Amino acid sequence: MNLLIINYEYPPLGGGASNASGFMAKALSRQGHSVSVLTGAFGDLRGRAQEDDVVVYRVPAIRRAIDRSNPLEMASFVASGIWRLPTIIRQERIEAVIVFFTIPCGPLGYLAKKFYGLPYVVSLRGGDVPGLVPEISWMHRLLGPLRRGILRNAEAVVANAPGLAELSRRTDPALVTTIPNGVDTDFFRPGVKVGDVPGTERRPFRLIFAGRLHNQKNLIFLFEQLAILAEKGLSFSLEISGDGPERLRLEKRATALNLHDRIVWHGWLDKAALRSLYQMGDCMVNPSLYEGMPNTVLEAMACGLPVIASRIPGNTDVVQDGLTGYLFDLAAPEQFRACLEKLIGTPELAQRMGQKARARVMAEFSWEDVARRYALLFSPSRIPNNAI
């Protein structure tokens, strides 16, 4: 089948949804499909290119940062995509479309169906579901009719976590199925930590956080809990990968809490550097206020890290409390401190949990399975008999 994946960002740009579209494209290609991608340009990344076995079209779009986009920048991609979509459909003889995000990318899937009769699947990623991100509730109210029309005309609507599926069902009258994110367990794998080499001095327990520096990630909460543990004399450090609008405020807060000598700010990291960061860590922390399904948690687990995470939809779909890490209630910060104190005090427990975490993602979160399940959503009767 000749498939087109549409996402306003694609590796090396963006975050979790970008990586998901990249891994899915490659997995679909390995399964014998011809895969093209429509995405936004950035810097020298523009035009048509063959990337591995995937044809990537990077169309002109406004974008100032490699790791994030604002609504205006996303809208500029959609405008360019509308202009370029007919050519891609003809040249690549597209038969079906997978659209990441109802908004902003959904209109492109709808146009592919309306003018070319192509079935499309919508992959819900989090922010495009009303009620998950409070800051953009105004946009969902404004674009509600458009969003519901896109969902109504889709061949299928997919959420990457049960909690996200349920939230979508409560706000929009569309049947939603669940297909979780996957993780590349060949790439994201455990490494040898310096402290694990016989004869080397024991180092502080390394905590890893990876994600956008945004209110959603609840890092002020994390810093405040770590400051309490630091006063108790616990030996740890926190490695932060990511950038975003909250960085300056977070740095000031860390300094005020006297954590500046315990935190390393790595900024935005490419995939290989992020893997190295996971491999040097002892535990992943994710105290988010809300999530779709966090790719970074899956990646850290694949690298053999236990995870301490907030008990919210998304995290609860990945972390098995007491087996692959711990879940804590956001209203009970003492739970977070108790979990972390236990792992710092018994590093062999952290190692055992990390081994179970990797085993879980290897067994249940394969990109090959994700890709196969997406392809099966396109019923043969809806696929055009002749390519355009």
Strand partners, 56: 37, 49
Give the rounded distance of the alpha carbon of 217 from its chain centre: 13
Output 171 or 309, whichever has higher pLDDT: 309
Output 193 or 41, whichever has higher pLDDT: 41
pLDDT bracket for residue 384 (50, 70, 90): very low
Q: What is the pLDDT of residues 44-55, one digit of tens each?
A: 999 999 998 999
Whether residue 197 has pLDDT greater than 80: no
Given a contact cutoff of 8 angstroms between Cβ atoms, the answer to whether 1 and 155 are in contact is no
Q: What is the mean pLDDT of the chain?
A: 92
Output 43 or 133, whichever has higher pLDDT: 43
Q: What percentage of the chain has pLDDT greater than the value 70?
A: 95
pLDDT bracket for residue 380 (50, 70, 90): low
CA 36, 40, 44, 50: dihedral to nearest 10 degrees?
Answer: 0
Going from the N-terminus, what domains does the chain have, and what CATH number goes with each? 2-182+367-382 (3.40.50.2000), 194-364 (3.40.50.2000)
Tell me what pLDDT residue 195 has.
53
Tell me what pLDDT residue 283 has.
98
Whether residue 292 has pLDDT greater than 90: no
Whether residue 220 has pLDDT greater than 60: yes
Q: What is the pLDDT of residues 162-185, one digit of tens each?
A: 888 998 998 888 899 999 999 999
Q: What is the pLDDT of residues 250-279, one digit of tens each?
A: 999 999 999 999 999 999 998 899 999 999
- Report the side by side order of strands in the sheet with 176-178: 47-51, 54-59, 34-40, 2-6, 96-100, 120-124, 156-159, 176-178
Long-range contacts of the stretch 16-21 (C-beta < 8 A, 24+): 16/125, 16/181, 16/292, 16/294, 16/295, 16/296, 17/100, 17/101, 17/125, 17/126, 19/271, 19/295, 20/100, 20/123, 20/125, 20/160, 20/181, 20/182, 20/295, 21/100
Q: What is the pLDDT of residues 5-15, one digit of tens each?
A: 999 999 999 88
Tell me what pLDDT residue 382 has.
46
Cβ–Cβ contacts within 10 Å for residue 342, how many? Answer: 13
Whether residue 388 has pLDDT greater than 50: no
Instruction: Give yes or no for a cis peptide into 104 (omega within 30° of 0).
Output: yes
